[in-house]
Amino acid sequence: MGWKKINRYLIYLISLFIISLGASLSIKANLGTSPLICLPYVCSLIVKLSVGEVMFVITVIYILIQVVLLGRDFEKRQYLQFIIGSIFSFFVDFSLMLVNFINPADYLSQLLLLLVSCVVVAFGVLLEIQTEVVYLPADGIIVAIAKVLNKEFSKVKPYVDTSMVVMAAILSVVFLGYLAGVREGTVISALIIGPIVKILKNYFDPYISSLIE
- Is pLDDT larger for residue 172 or for residue 75? 172
Q: Mind listing the pLDDT tens digit for each residue in 107-166?
A: 999 999 999 999 999 899 888 878 877 888 888 888 889 889 988 877 788 888 888 889
**Domain count within the chain:** 1
C-beta contacts of 104-110 below 8 A and 24+ residues apart: 104/28, 104/29, 104/30, 110/29, 110/30, 110/31, 110/185
pTM recorded for the entire structure: 0.88
Closest by CA position to 111, among listed 196, 26, 24: 26
Looking at residue 118, its amino acid is: C
Provide the domain limits for residue 12. Answer: 3-212
Q: Mind listing the pLDDT tens digit for each residue in 153-208?
A: 777 888 888 888 899 999 999 999 998 888 888 888 888 888 888 888 888 887 77
CB 83 within 8 A of CB 102: no
